[in-house]
Amino acid sequence: MAKKESMIDKIKRLMYQTDKIRNIGIVAHVDHGKTTTTDSLLAGAGMLSFEVAGKACATDFLEVEQERGITVQNADVNMVHEYKGEEYLINLIDTPGHVDFGGHVTRAMRVIDGAVVICDAVEGVMPQTETVLRQALKEKVKPVLFINKVDRLISEIKLTPEKMQEQLMKIIYQVNELIRKLAPEEEVKNWLVNVQEGSVAFGSGLEKWAMSFPFMKETGLSFKDVLDFYAKGEEGIKELQQKAPLHKVLLDMIINHLPSPKEAQKYRIPRIWNGDVNSEIGKHLLECDPKGPLVACVSKVTVDPQAGEIALIRTFSGTLKKGQEVYLIGKNIKTKVQQLYVFKGDQRFPIDELPVGNLGGVVGLRDVSSGDTVSELPDVAPFEELKHLFEPVVTKAFEAKSPKDLPKLIDALRAIHKEDPTVHVKINRETGQNLVSGMGELHLEIIEDKLKREMGLDIVTSPPIVVYRETVTAKSPIVEGKSPNKHNKLYFTIEPLEEPIYKALESGEISVEKIKKKDEEVIQKFMKYGMSRDEAKRIKGVHNSNLFIDNTRGIIHLGEIMEYMLQAFRDNMDAGPLAKEPIARTKFVIHDAKLHEDAIHRGPAQIIPAVREALREAFLQAKPTLLEPVQTIRIDTPEEYMGNVTKLITNRRGQLLDVQQEGGNTIILAKVPVANMFGITGDLRSVSEGRAVWFLVDSTFERIPKELEAETIKRIRERKGIDPNARIA
């Protein structure tokens, strides 16, 4: 009698059939049911008991996720589904919904080809629904829609079939409006979700049933039948689960409407890879070629106490093999693959190789980080840098209570940054103070919790600190920078960067890698946003949305000192003259230079101080100011508390943008400075008797009011130990 093939054996076999693979992510607004739905998919694939699915939250395996009932990091699962007599391999990533952990969503998008967007049938499209769709479409990840929690419309709100249909159609329309607005022009028509075509499903992740138009056609079930099943109570719902199992409807939709790696790489590679698609390696990537050289991209890194660093990796060309020597592109590191795995949440199963188009875990990549390009060739063009939609704007100082724990704390913070690059860590070994910046209060709370509970560290943290930006509002006169030996003179100006160019750099639409290569496509983009072709060609460096432009002509030896000037530019842009906050939105232009003939007199020790002096002087003569982080938030509140909520916003220096009534609910859109956002969750609860909730819609930097500028600069300087009375302007 033949031995039954195990799930892992099936996965290993299907890994070599690229057209039978689907790399997908489950994405949604917080609490719209991603992890519950993933449970049902796992149960359908035989990886979880059907009885506990929906309640187990199997992919929330961290203690903090189980306690708080939210997903804080990506979870990876490889599963097999049979469709029309053929088996398919589904590589699935369950992503977080809370905006503070949106960096995990960004990194997941790089390695998947399709996304199941989940929407709550009652709440509809929410701010984070738009954010995750924006992240997906920016990376050319194709969406399908699952409208979840339809059971709430039936049991709680008790809508008539007509009203229910109206609500579902409204959600589909809103999602399609977002796709029209955010998707690449050439894909909009094919990517709109459509009930008749079957790229929309609706159902209940918790009660494990779903419907789609093709499924209803095939089985003869109708929406009226769903209501009849619910009318029978618990027995009826069990019957519905058997007749319309969620895993079958959703996985069928995924196989039918989301692309295989072979299909997806044809249009995704030009968007996400920095190399020439017409080159030999470019062709291997476009074709998803198993015989091509290995080129892969790292999505995330987790630090496991036993195995060490485990990287989740997607192979885009060739095959990654156990024991293979590979390069981390751009880091000059050659390293060896020690182990390869496939996943079932927190469980790992060893494999010998990871063929093209697959997701798997790899151990042994020394000093690897999220977003890294891995190849067997040392000089492959890297994948585009991962760019998150929002920046970290809240900082706390973390200190070890006992000096002997300081090395342990530094190692732990480095590990956290590796796992989540949206966490920015500045380590000061002398003071023992370590500044950790995150997306919001919750983000930093989770980090603190992890350090204390998982890593056993006794730490103290400061109250939250806001990170500002420094910028200029006018063009400076030409300023001279002299080298310490007085033999070299450099002449610079600084001026504000045009807003459209700043936005294109911040969003990642203009690629930093392609600027370095003088890519024609990038020059065209700068011209599209109002820059002359000549100026675009003269950009030598970009750092934190600041440009370094060489406006000189025919100066001998300038090329030899360019790297020193760029180093000084980068260092100075990280700490401006007002309060040592990062500089943003500027153009730093060199116009002329008088350089010593002898190379020994124009080394880094001479050029770097000259650039630093000129940058500081030019900055202070260009009407400098501070930019403060401002968040656009949406608040949902019963209308009787609207007065209390609007008063709370105005008391926090907020500005009302829009107020809308929906039934007995009021939706308020407001802008509030991050400095005034701390504790807003608790205050909202108290002014609305716990019934108002808020969500982040957008985050930007805006000019601080003039009357607050001097006091804010003084406060930052005092905190950093800088003389508050030193020259500011």
* Cα Rg, the chain, nearest whole Å: 27
Q: How much is the pLDDT for 172?
A: 93
Q: Tell me, what's the pLDDT at 428?
A: 65
Distance CA 563, CA 164 (A): 63
Quick one: 266-375 is in which CATH superfamily? Translation factors (2.40.30.10)
Spelled out in words, what is the top-level CATH class assigned to the domain 394-465?
alpha beta
Q: Is 626-710 in the same CATH topology as 394-465?
A: yes
Q: Helix or strand or coil: residue 686?
A: helix
pLDDT at res. 264: 92
Four-CA torsion 609, 610, 616, 617, nearest 10 degrees = 150
pLDDT block averages, 10 residues each, the chain of length 729:
70 89 85 75 58 42 40 62 89 65 70 90 83 85 91 81 85 91 83 91 89 91 86 88 90 93 92 86 92 90 77 91 88 87 77 91 85 88 76 78 79 77 70 72 78 76 85 91 86 90 79 68 82 84 86 80 86 88 90 82 83 90 91 85 88 89 82 86 84 80 90 86 68
Assign domain 470-612 to a CATH class. Answer: alpha beta
| Strand pairing class (86-94; 114-120) | unpaired
Predicted local confidence at residue 226, as pLDDT: 85
| Candidate CATH numbers 3.40.50.720, 3.40.50.300, 3.40.630.30, 3.30.420.10; the one for domain 13-218+245-259 | 3.40.50.300
Q: Which long-range contacts (CB under 8 A, 24 or more apart) does 331-336 make?
A: 331/367, 331/372, 333/366, 333/367, 334/378, 335/364, 335/365, 335/366, 335/367, 335/368, 336/364
pLDDT at residue 144, rounded to an integer: 93
Determine the pLDDT at residue 66.
40
Contacts of 314 (CB under 8 A, 6+ apart): 23, 110, 111, 296, 297, 299, 357, 358, 359
- What single-letter amino acid sits at 133? L
Q: For 672-711, how does the pLDDT look when each residue is reduced to its tens digit (9 = 90+)? A: 898 888 888 888 888 888 788 787 777 888 899 998 888 8
Q: Strand 21-28 relative to strand 86-94: parallel, antiparallel, unpaired?
A: parallel
pTM recorded for the entire structure: 0.78
Q: What is the pLDDT of residue 257?
A: 93
What is the per-residue pLDDT across 345-381, written as a single tens digit (0 to 9) for each?
A: 567 888 899 999 998 889 888 888 888 888 999 888 8
Integer Cα distance of 399 and 605 in angstroms: 34
Three-state helix/strand/coil letters over 333-393: EEEECCEEEEEECCEEEEECEECCCCEEEEECCCCCCCCCEEECCCCCCCECCCCCCCCCC
pLDDT at 317: 92
Domain extent listing, the chain? 13-218+245-259, 266-375, 394-465, 470-612, 626-710
CATH number for the segment(s) 626-710 = 3.30.70.240
What's at 6, amino acid-wise?
Answer: S
Are the CB atoms for 367 and 331 separated by under 8 Å?
yes
